Amino acid sequence: MKTAILISGRGSNMQALVNAASAPRFPARVSLVISNNSDALGLKWAGEEGINTKLIDHRDYSNRSAFENELDQSLVDAGVELICLAGFMRLLTLEFVSRWHNRIINVHPSLLPAYKGLNTHQRVINDGVRFTGCTVHFVRPEMDKGPIIAQAIVPVLPNDNAETLASRVLMAEHRCYPFALRLVASGKTKTVNNLVLVENALSPEVVIMNPDDKQS
């Protein structure tokens, strides 16, 4: 499945997806990386990996619709079938998300629907939460909302601060996101009544990722 990754920064989740997709039997191929930020370090990394890259700076467009029209056309021209958001710091409109319904996935650093938005890790610590994690989900127009594909749990340690917790959650993201991409790109998921069902799961709602699994 031809996949595009949208980034705004260094793109560490992008790197995890690209590395996973380089395996011979992986069902997705990253064919395009797009950034809305000319300073995004991830663009350079992707280019060095031989991946087509494109800068579409939102500041060059008079409105959100014009920016998204250019983004959409670039994806269509490249024959993209699936979009992965990896630190893409732009909210997508209803029109764009509708065009790509169930073909955009995102990773968020919490166990959604808890802790949507920003400053996730500090809010978790402030609330005394014992477990947090990350969520990969299909994108809907509302921020950090959509059918959940996969989640990974990360314990909150007594001596954690926002930075140490963020680092461990990011490690979980780097494994959970490729796992979710594999499920979607292999055609093993379908969405029914806002619930993602996974073929051959232990139950219609549950998939367990072994901690020792390799994304190959």
- Mapped onto helix, strand or coil, the DSSP state of residue 24 is coil
Residues with Cβ within 8 Å of residue 214, at least 6 apart in sequence:
none
Distance CA(168)–CA(181), nearest Å, equals 20
Active-site residue among 108, 121, 137, 174?
Answer: 108
CB 152 within 8 A of CB 110: no
108 is catalytic: yes
CB 32 within 8 A of CB 51: yes
Distance CA(130)–CA(147), nearest Å, equals 24
Apex 16 CA angle, 36 and 167, nearest 5: 90
Kindly state the tokens that stand for 167.
């680092």
Task: List the catalytic residues.
Answer: 108
